Amino acid sequence: MIKEIEQIAEVAGYLWQKGWAERNGGNITVNITGSLSAAYKSSPAVKGPISIGQKLPRLKGCFFYCKGTGKRMRDLSRSPMENGSIIRICDDCEHYEIISDVPVMPTSELPSHLAVHNYLIEHGSPFKASLHTHPIELVALTHSREWLEKDAATNMLWSMIPETKAFCPKGLGMVPYMLPGSVELAKATIDTIDEGYDVVMWEKHGVFAVDTNIIDAFDQVDVLNKAAQIYIAGRNMGFVPEGMTAAQMAEMSKAFNLPK
């Protein structure tokens, strides 16, 4: 099995263990074009062509691993090829074919994931992995107007523990509530990535993170959620956590060469 799919299986196990992937919750897609042999790439289609629902010209010649629709992360962690599939984008950039042995239909969020990958390629990004998951404490934060204000959650989370800003220097983008799987949600996610975020919160739903590989995408969400847990632990002890001071944040940003 190629390294990317081993990493996906590893991360799927973490998502389940953390309680972020109830039932079929969450999605993973990874651009694996660079890791497949020419022979494998020319495999006959097992299913398809299937419409993407939009034309994504930058995906010409691309191959993706996609979690299957209705499949569980906890099952995917043991059997990635029975709970997900490898797809080939057709030359018209409007359809795809499944080429892996078991024709598992990809995630319901495929159009939005593929639109994000199309955006990333178009902008010369090295990011190849996208992760959608339901991290408990981060989702809980989005049930309060206070934390939905631009960068309010980012600044609070960064101030909970110094590593947060070092490992998530772009912070947490916020997308207001929209119907899961909708074109509007996909568009708002891309707009938020375009503003410079690589981890995007979907209000009252979950997080969408992009990174070079799925392990790094997971780590960013894990670090941010840990900071949210520290905030909540303080609140549960009966006080509002102080957070690092502005001077401490500035010193840290300078030491780690981070944006202000």
Nearer Cβ to ligand 2HA (28/86): 28
Rule CB under 5 A: say whether 206 interacts with Zn ion.
yes
Rule CB under 5 A: say whether 135 interacts with Zn ion.
no
* Residues 184 and 177 sit within 8 Å (Cβ to Cβ): no
* Residues 145 and 222 sit within 8 Å (Cβ to Cβ): no
Looking at 107, 154, 220, 225, which residue binds ligand 2HA (CB under 6 A)? 107
Judged by CB under 6 A, the stretch of 90-98, 106-114, 145-153, 247-255 that binds ligand 2HA is 106-114
Judged by CB under 6 A, the stretch of 5-13, 101-109, 122-130, 225-233 that binds ligand 2HA is 101-109
DSSP strand pairing (47-51 vs 84-89) = unpaired
Q: How many CB atoms lie under 10 A from the CB of residue 92? A: 12
| Least Å from the CB of residue 238 to ligand 2HA | 34
* Among Zn ion, ligand 2HA, none, partner that 164 touches (CB below 5 to 8 angstroms by kind): none
Give the torsion through C-alpha atoms of 251, 252, 257, 260, to 10 deg: -70
Distance separating the N- and C-terminal Cα atoms of the chain? 41
Nearer Cβ to ligand 2HA (121/224): 224
Q: Which amino acid is at 126?
A: P
Catalytic residue among 109, 146, 149, 195: 109
Q: Which residue in the shown chain puts its C-beta closest to ligand 2HA?
A: 180
Among 151, 90, 127, which residue's Cα sits nearest to residue 213?
Answer: 127
Contacts of 210 (CB under 8 A, 6+ apart): 116, 120, 125, 127, 129, 130, 131, 193, 198, 217
Q: Is 109 one of the catalytic residues?
A: yes
Rule CB under 6 A: say whether 26 interacts with ligand 2HA.
yes
Among 204, 136, 203, which residue's Cα sits nearest to residue 173?
Answer: 203
Site residues (CB under 6 A) for ligand 2HA, limited to 170-199: 180
Site residues (CB under 6 A) for ligand 2HA, limited to 127-146: 132
3-state DSSP of 107-129: CCCHHHHHHHHHHHHHCCCCCCE
Cα 30 to chain center, whole Å?
Answer: 10
Judged by CB under 6 A, the stretch of 4-12, 54-62, 104-112, 122-130 that binds ligand 2HA is 104-112
Site residues (CB under 6 A) for ligand 2HA, limited to 146-175: none
Nearer Cβ to ligand 2HA (179/240): 179
Which of the residues are catalytic? 109
- Interface residues toward ligand 2HA, by CB under 6 A: 24-27, 107-109, 132, 180
Q: Which residues bind Zn ion (CB under 5 A)?
A: 206
